A and B are shown apart, each in its own frame.
Chain A
Amino acid sequence: MDASGSTIKKGKTGKMLKSPGARTKEQQGKIMFLLVLPFLFLSFMFSYFPLHGWLYALYDYRAPLKLSQCQFVGLKWFATLFSNPTQVSQLLIVMRNTFAMSLLGILTSFLPVLFAVFLNEIKCRWFKNMVQTLTTLPNFISWTLVYAVAFCLFSSTGMVNTVLQNLGWISAPIKFLDSGEHVWLRMLLWSTWKGLGWGAIMYLAAISGIDQEMYEAARVDGAGRWQLIKNITIPSLLPTYFVMLMLSVANFLSNGMDQYYVFQNSFNKESIQVLDLYVYNIGMTGKSLSLATAIGVMKSLVSVTLLLIVNFTSKKVRGESII
């Protein structure tokens, strides 16, 4: 601190002679603080201040009233979650869906690795670029638009049903969207469609960072394509894969709600309601803001714990933290 201060002062001497009223470093620092204050305030308002809303979980909140006018119920909502039979069974279904979607996501997390490894085997430049551009495109459209695509292709009057009927392969339209069967699988397919190409980008970049001489050396030793993939490419991708895996474990409870919200209907509600969507459904449209907040609080606490565990694991395993 001191050393840098004195050098700057030395550099500034000439200047200070001209303006004796020049500010000291400390004053400068405080002025700079005032200059960033509005943005710190924004950060506070939209990240820290909302935490006060957790109080709603301790009250029986009714919509137009003020919090002070509502009855304080302590941990009643948290108790309800674990004791009220209908509530418990509902929450169990929601947790089952959440776990299913997250687990399926983790189980298929190797797909982008495979995508990258095999795309790397393609030597034709323009083909490779085209594949990369077109398969990453779905990642940049919203879930609403994915649903629009799904609607136009797979609704009962959609393209797939029309084509199949025109071919005479089916007599009645297949209900791709409004049925409660295979909901998890279909959701997984849509998120894979949206995310596969983009998910592979990081691995492709990691592959391009591998020392080419390793491959040359292995080839000279007579290694074939599969041996190169198995012994060089995949091991070099493992660190990246590990980070991605850890992140998806940390986000285990956060499936997001956009995808499930747009695809939900009365037929598939039972198997599509994940935790994020459930909080929205009971909080914004249904029963109780307070109960929804209580669930949200628990979710936040579990998520932060998961993140810390994952970070700790990463430190142990790789000697490097994730956050």
Chain B
Amino acid sequence: MSKRKSGTVIRQKPSDFVFSFFNYLIFAILTILCAYPFYYLIINSISANYLSAAGAINLIPRGIHFQNYVDVFKLNGLTTATLVSVARTVIGTLCTVLASAYMGFMFTQKQLWHRKLWYRLVVVTMYFNAGLIPMFMTMKFLHLTNSFWVYIIPAIVQPFNIIMVKTYVESLPASLQEAAEMDGAGVLTRFAKIVLPVCTPILATIAIWAAVGQWDSFQDTLIYITDQKLYSLQYLLYTYLNQASSLAALVKSSGSAAAVASVATMQTPGSIRMTVSVIVVLPILFIYPMFQKYFVKGIMIGSVKG
């Protein structure tokens, strides 16, 4: 017998217990399947490299050291790629958020000349795209290939985000802006002083999605970039995965003679792969649980936008 909050008493049947048991069991297994690979990468990147190369590190890290994280940054390009990825995430997110806020707000202003037409033209771009090759030709025409700005500029105007902000601003009480308008505040003042501050919840949602999108993006480097100095971390990781055997040699030769690597910290292809993977995944692992509610909010708003 178990008591529910509502006060109704219901019988706990043996079949209920069996159901619950298997339900918990299956979800525990699914959860482990999702979480274990990340755990595996992390413990292997900090364990003694000969143990991890032998496949001896599966549950508990052994011979813990952080030399791998020092060594991989000696690899050609990893520091640059990290900077590129951080820069595109910060600048790109900032641009997307501000532009979405600004455009979303402007599209709520009834006096905007031919507002509905412009709004529709922007929104409709969600539903078609020219395709890979025409996009490539366009970027080439605009001199954006092999430029850092190819990560930023095309991502500035995002119709979906604009819709989200517009819907949000329209849900605010009209009196908020009217009062300021009577005091003679121009449209930009109203945006910066009144609307922007109250939009923070929706902007946080947009920011977190944009940041993850920028950090994870792989295709744009693949298509538009050939200059190694502009590789993003995701792309560099991909190239490392496919050529790791020569990587270990690279690290070895670039290390100073004084620091002769011990067997525990000597780099192997596997140790490099896993360490770089952890560097790439760590920001997501930190950010996601903290901002989970914003992610969920993002998709919920998206689903009811209509």
Question: Which residues of A pack against B, CB within 8 Å?
Answer: 4, 8, 11-12, 15, 25-26, 28-30, 32-33, 35-36, 39-40, 42-43, 45-54, 56, 115, 118-119, 121-122, 124, 127, 130-131, 133-138, 140-145, 147-149, 151-153, 157, 159, 162-163, 166, 193, 196-197, 201-202, 205, 216, 219-220, 225, 240, 243, 257-258, 261-262, 276, 279-280, 283-284, 289, 292-293, 296-297, 299-300, 303-304, 307, 320, 323
Q: Which residues of B contact A131 (CB under 8 A)?
A: 27-28, 30-31
Task: Name 7 A/B residue pairs within 8 A (Cβ), A-sorted.
Answer: A50-B134, A144-B238, A163-B55, A258-B219, A292-B132, A300-B129, A307-B127
Give 6 closest A-B pairs by Cβ, nearest first. Answer: A53-B134, A162-B55, A296-B131, A50-B130, A47-B125, A142-B216
Q: How large is the interface on B (under 10, 10 to 19, 20 to 34, 35 or more residues)?
A: 35 or more
Q: Which residues of B contact A135 (CB under 8 A)?
A: 30-31, 34
| B113/A29 in contact, CB under 8 A | yes
Which chain B residue shows the least CB distance to A14? Answer: B182
Give the complex CA separation of A303 and B219 in angstroms: 21
Give the complex CA separation of A35 and B114 in angstroms: 13
Given contacts A157-B55, A280-B223, A303-B128, 20 further A-B pairs with CB under 8 A are: A26-B111, A39-B156, A45-B138, A47-B130, A53-B131, A54-B134, A115-B30, A127-B27, A135-B30, A137-B284, A142-B280, A144-B218, A159-B40, A163-B58, A193-B34, A240-B303, A262-B218, A279-B133, A296-B133, A304-B127
Which chain B residue shows the least CB distance to A240? Answer: B303
Q: Which of B38, B188, B218 contacts A137 (CB 8 A)?
A: B38
| B128/A300 in contact, CB under 8 A | yes
B176: CB under 8 A from chain A?
A: no
Q: Which of A162, A193, A304 contacts B128 (CB 8 A)?
A: A304
Q: Which of B103, B273, B288 contacts A151 (CB 8 A)?
A: B273
**Chain B: minimal CB distance from A294 (Å):** 9
| A225/B19 in contact, CB under 8 A | yes
**Chain A: minimal CB distance from B293 (Å):** 11
CB within 8 Å for A147 and B132 given contacts A36-B106, A153-B40, A323-B127: no
**Chain B: minimal CB distance from A277 (Å):** 10
Q: Which of B19, B121, B153, B184 contacts A42 (CB 8 A)?
A: B153
Give the complex CA separation of A288 and B295 in angstroms: 41
B172: CB under 8 A from chain A?
A: no
Question: Which residues of B pack against A, CB within 8 Å?
Answer: 6, 8, 10, 16, 19-20, 23-24, 26-28, 30-31, 33-35, 37-38, 40-41, 44, 54-55, 58, 99, 102-103, 106, 109-114, 118, 121-122, 125-138, 142, 153-154, 156-157, 159, 178, 181-182, 184, 187-188, 212, 215-219, 222-223, 234-235, 237-238, 241, 270, 273-274, 276-277, 280-281, 284-285, 288-289, 292, 295-296, 299-300, 303, 306
CB within 8 Å for A144 and B235 given contacts A134-B35, A293-B134: yes
**Chain A: minimal CB distance from B23 (Å):** 6
Most chain B beta-carbon neighbours within 10 Å: one of A36, A151, A293: A36
Q: Which of B8, B109, B112, B212 contacts A219 (CB 8 A)?
A: B8
**Chain A: minimal CB distance from B216 (Å):** 4
| A293/B131 in contact, CB under 8 A | yes
| A145/B125 in contact, CB under 8 A | no
> Chain A: interface secondary structure?
helix
Give the complex CA separation of A137 and B182 in angstroms: 48
Which chain B residue shows the least CB distance to A300? Answer: B131
| B222/A118 in contact, CB under 8 A | no
**Chain B: minimal CB distance from A28 (Å):** 5
CB within 8 Å for A51 and B273 given contacts A39-B99, A159-B40: no
Give the complex CA separation of A262 and B221 in angstroms: 13
Which chain A residue shows the least CB distance to B132? Answer: A279
Give the complex CA separation of A258 and B241 in angstroms: 15
Q: Which residues of B contact A52 (CB under 8 A)?
A: 134
Q: Which of A39, A43, A145 contacts B102 (CB 8 A)?
A: A39
Q: Which residues of B contact A243 (CB under 8 A)?
A: 303
| A119/B241 in contact, CB under 8 A | no
**Chain B: minimal CB distance from A4 (Å):** 7
